[in-house]
Amino acid sequence: MKKITIGKSGKPTVPDIVEIPFIEGDGVGAEITPVMRSVVDAALRKAYGERRRIEWKEVLAGQKAFDTTGSWLPEETMEAFRTYKVGIKGPLTTPVGGGIRSLNVALRQELDLYVCLRPVRWFRGVVSPVKEPGKVDMHIFRENTEDIYAGIEWQAGTPEAEKFLKFLTEEMGVTKVRFPESSSFGVKPVSREGSQRLVRSALEYALERGLPSLTLVHKGNIMKFTEGGFKNWGYDVAENEFAERTFTMRRYDAIKKERGADEADRALETARKAGRLIVKDVIADAFLQNTLLIPEEYSVIATLNLNGDYISDQLAAMVGGIGIAPGANINFLSGHAIFEATHGTAPNIAGQNKVNPSSLLLSAVMMLEYMGWNEAASLITAAMEKAFEKGRATGDLARFMPGGVTLGTAEFGEELLLNL
């Protein structure tokens, strides 16, 4: 029995010898994936001797799949992720041409991976554009299935756009489209179910780890029913399902209104002292400013798809850029999870032994943590930190480090094995 199973709680049960499907990835995938595998294998040996091990099962997707099978995303690959529950992937080329969905989107939709989880922390030694990158320690829960990303849009000048405009004006009485004849239209669906399952998973994650706060980031001041709905539904989950363990700033505002600011401050202080998770909200543009000014005020972030896209990249840049930012797409209810390099196939440096394997490697660290194999995960992050502190890294990071030594992808992998 080498397969991960998922219990009722959505938590994985992992056998000591476990088969994990992986997609090598296109472009630089062929360089980062072997480094990731060898470092993970070495960390497992170091942490558990012969007791625990991963048997890697390659599944095909992207260019490699197309060249060998004629399909960009073969059914066997989908089936492997369905069956094995947890897997990891390198970057995939988005096939050019009409009618072909992005492979990443296809995988996410097929397994309903509703959380895009991006932890963002700084590693000592990595040069950052901000003064105190050590204050950045956030966990972004980006909603992965709704919002403007649902792909419901019509191009200006098409019969569909015309039909939609007619519906808006004639049936819905909309008069606010500024230039109706030349407008394209997009639809932004945001549901209570979709918002609440995302926020519920983020709350559980924060509570399990004893993190101090969860912030709902939204543009509810402008989009009252979609973004504002997300905020209100998020607060509802915290207050209705986690009442004993959280304190919401919506509750704070209600106390303030009823009984005054002093009473509200006292309630907040009592909740803090009792170790309750503080649930707050902030408008997305203010949040982006605050991440630069007061990053220490934020821990877990729950947000909709488009905001999450911008936020992930800005926060990644604050701690060293996309070469080092890990990520995962997870369904916390079914337990399905795909860990992935967050960057693309980097065709401009592919095959040159230049690419930084850290994004995929840190995604593997997230995967080990998800599996409960924390000892091996910590060994890998410690080995990486040791290399960075000595100024030894791939060129994307080493070029900014004082006295930095540029290592090739393979040599950086060797360095980590040595540190392990």
Residue 41: active-site member: no
Closest residue by beta carbon to ligand NAD: 344
Q: Are 46 and 419 in contact (CB under 8 A)?
A: no
**Would you say 38 or 232 has its CB closer to ligand NAD?**
38
Closest CA to 202 of 276, 120, 301, 114: 301
Catalytic residue, candidates 114, 149, 235, 252? 149
- The residue ranges of DSSP E strands in 107-248, in sequence order, are 115-121, 137-143, 153-154, 185-186, 213-218, 246-248
Task: Respond yes or no: is residue 273 known to be catalytic.
Answer: no
DSSP 3-state helix, strand, coil percentages of the chain (rounded to 5)? 45, 15, 35
Q: Where are the beta strands (DSSP E) in 284-363?
A: 300-303, 326-330, 337-341
- Which CB, 35 or 268, lies closer to ligand NAD? 35
- Reading the block at residue 105, the tokens are 């989107």
In the complex with ligand NAD, which residue's Cβ is closer, 19 or 340?
Answer: 340
Minimum distance of ligand NAD from residue 385's CB (angstroms) = 18
Q: Supply φ then ψ for residue 23, to 5 degrees.
A: -105, 125
CB-count exposure of residue 151 (10 Å: 0-12, 13-18, 19+)? exposed
**How many other β-carbons are positioned within 10 Å of the β-carbon of residue 93?**
20
Residue 70 CB, nearest approach to ligand NAD (Å): 19
Per the annotation, the verdict on 285 as an active-site residue is yes
Shortest distance, position 351 Cβ to ligand NAD, whole Å: 12
Among residues 64, 188, 219, 231, which one is catalytic?
A: 219
Among 112, 137, 236, 285, the active-site one is 285
Catalytic pick among 112, 309, 310, 390: 309
Q: How far is the CB of 262 from ligand NAD (least distance, A)?
A: 50
Q: Which residues of 37-56 are buried (b: 16+ CB within 10 A; e: fewer)?
A: bebbebbbbebeeeebebee
Residue 73 CB, nearest approach to ligand NAD (Å): 12
Q: Which is nearer to ligand NAD, 240 or 348 (CB)?
A: 348
Number of H helices, E strands in the chain: 15, 17
Q: Are 353 and 25 in contact (CB under 8 A)?
A: no
Is 396 an annotated catalytic residue? no
Phi-psi group of 30: left, alpha or beta (phi > 0 → left; psi -120 to 50 → alpha; rest → beta): alpha
Residue nearer to ligand NAD on the CB measure, 109 or 290: 109
For residue 59, the minimal CB distance to ligand NAD (Å) is 15
**Measured from the CB atom, is 281 or 396 closer to ligand NAD?**
396
Q: Check: CB of residue 329 under 8 Å from CB of residue 118.
A: no
Q: How far is the CB of 151 from ligand NAD (least distance, A)?
A: 15
Closer residue to ligand NAD (CB): 37 or 343:
343
Point out which residues bind ligand NAD (CB under 6 A): 91-94, 104, 322-323, 340, 343-349, 355-356, 359, 396
**Which residues lie across from 246 on neighbouring strands?**
277
Element (H, E) at 19: strand 17-23
User: Half-sphere exposure of 419 toward its Cβ, with a 13 Å CA cutoff?
Assistant: 23
Active site residues: 149, 219, 285, 309
